[in-house]
Amino acid sequence: MGQGIIPFLQIILDFGCGAGYYTIPLAKIVGDNGKVYALDKDGNSLGELKSKAKEEKVKNIEIIKTSGELKIPFEDNSIDVVLLYDVIHSYYFSDDERKKVVDEVKRVLKTKGMLSLYPKHMNLEEIKCEIEKEGFYLEKRFFTTLLHYYSLTSGYILNFRRR
């Protein structure tokens, strides 16, 4: 692996990473000088991610199993990018819990850090307003093809920055 394609994307948190559908590609992008933290409460999915990372010889992933608490186990201003891909919808979190997660994301993000959101199962305008109320601004919205579990799907990605 090289030095990373995007040098300012060095420390990434994949919150609710599951089996690592985004974690492994991210780790390859940031390369040896970067780090991807894969955080999830599902031990089986994290085990699958660990096996995939070993198989693909990706060594810059740190797996973090949580008990489902909403406190993100990082210092303030310590993460460059946080991914919330198909994870903060009502299936997993109530409105109050979602607010707590977004507040925690804001806390751990560096001043110019990015929150990248794939709001599957959510109304785009509602989640955009919700995130903006928590101290972020929408930097870019785009429609793309994503790998969702084991198939391709299309959807919007919303990239926010801290105010």
144 inside domain: yes
Q: Is residue 114 part of a domain?
A: yes
How many structural domains compose the chain?
1
In this structure, are residues 144 and 119 in contact, taking their beta carbons and an 8 Å threshold? Answer: no
Has residue 3 been placed in a domain?
no
Per-residue pLDDT of the chain in tens (163 residues, 90 and over written 9): 344 444 555 899 999 999 999 999 999 999 988 999 999 999 999 999 999 999 999 999 999 999 888 889 999 999 999 999 988 877 678 889 999 999 999 999 999 899 999 998 889 999 999 999 999 999 999 998 887 666 788 899 999 998 8
**Which pLDDT score is estimated for 3?**
44
Q: pLDDT value at position 5?
A: 43
- Output the pLDDT for position 153: 84
Angle between helices 43-55 and 23-30 (to 10 degrees): 40
Q: What CATH number is associated with residue 138?
A: 3.40.50.150
The DSSP call for residue 88 is S
What's the CA gap between 104 and 50, in Å, rounded? 25
Q: Is residue 6 part of a domain?
A: no
2 in a domain, yes or no?
Answer: no
pTM for the full predicted model:
0.89
CA distance linking residue 158 with residue 124, whole number of Å: 9
Boundaries of domain holding 114? 11-162
